[in-house]
Amino acid sequence: MANLIKDSFLEELSKRYGHIKKLENTKSLFEIGEGGARIYIRYSKVHTRNQTFYGLREEDLQKLEGFPSIICFLWDDQKEPLMIPFSEYEEVFHSTSPASDGQYKVMVYLEDVTEFYVAGAGRFNVEDRFGLDKLDTIIDEAKLKPIQDFSHSQIQTFLGAIGAIKGYDIWIPQNDRSKMDWSLTNKYDFRDKLPPEFSNVQDILQEIDVIWLDRGSNRIRALYEVEHSTPIYSGLLRFNDIHLVAPNLKPRFSIVSNDIRRSLFVKQIKRPTFQASGLSELCIFFEYANVAGWFSRVKPRMA
Which residues are registered as beta bridge partners of 32? 20, 37
User: Nearest CA to 256 among 289, 294, 297, 224?
Assistant: 224
Q: Are residues 17 and 73 in the same domain?
A: yes
Q: What is the CATH number of the domain that holds 52?
A: 3.40.1350
pLDDT band for position 143 (50/70/90)?
low
Q: Are residues 119 and 243 in the same domain?
A: no
Q: Are residues 122 and 163 in the same domain?
A: no
* Boundary-marking domain end, from 110, 142, 174: 142
Structural domain count, the chain: 2
Distance, in Å, from the CA atom of 68 to the CA atom of 71, rounded to the nearest integer, reads 11
Give residue-wise pLDDT tens across range 98-133.
Answer: 999 999 999 999 977 788 999 988 888 888 888 888
Q: Are residues 215 and 288 in the same domain?
A: yes
- Do the domain assignments include residue 274? yes
Q: Are residues 92 and 188 in the same domain?
A: no
Which residues are registered as beta bridge partners of 170? 212
- Do the domain assignments include residue 60? yes
Give residue-wise pLDDT tens across range 157-194.
Answer: 999 999 999 899 999 999 999 999 999 999 999 999 88
Kindly tell me if the per-residue pLDDT of 287 is higher than 50.
yes
Q: Are residues 101 and 217 in the same domain?
A: no
Kindly tell me if the per-residue pLDDT of 303 is higher than 60.
no
Give residue-wise pLDDT tens across range 184-243.
Answer: 999 999 999 888 888 888 899 999 999 999 998 888 989 999 987 778 899 999 999 999
* Boundary-marking domain end, from 142, 163, 193: 142
Q: Are residues 121 and 201 in the same domain?
A: no
Q: Are residues 35 and 131 in the same domain?
A: yes
pLDDT at 101: 93
pLDDT at 94: 82
Least confident of 16-30, 62-76, 139-153, 287-301: 139-153
- Do the domain assignments include residue 33? yes
Q: Are residues 157 and 261 in the same domain?
A: yes
- Do the domain assignments include residue 77? yes
- Do the domain assignments include residue 147? no
Between 248 and 76, the higher pLDDT residue: 76
pLDDT at 295: 87
pLDDT band for position 270 (50/70/90)?
confident
pLDDT at 27: 86
Report in angstroms the alpha-carbon separations of 174 from 152, 180, 188, 206, 235.
15, 11, 14, 8, 18
Instruction: Give the structural domain span for 273.
Output: 152-301
- Do the domain assignments include residue 187? yes
Could you give the percent of the chain with pLDDT greater than 70? 94
Q: State the average pLDDT over residues 260-273.
A: 83
- Do the domain assignments include residue 229? yes
18: alpha, beta or left? (left if phi > 0; alpha if psi -120 to 50): left
* Boundary-marking domain end, from 96, 118, 142: 142
- Do the domain assignments include residue 135? yes
Give residue-wise pLDDT tens across range 49-100.
Answer: 889 999 999 989 988 988 889 999 999 988 889 999 898 888 888 878 899 9
Q: Are residues 132 and 71 in the same domain?
A: yes
Q: Are residues 120 and 190 in the same domain?
A: no
Q: Are residues 166 and 116 in the same domain?
A: no
pLDDT at 302: 44
Residues 6+ apart with CB under 8 A from 248: none
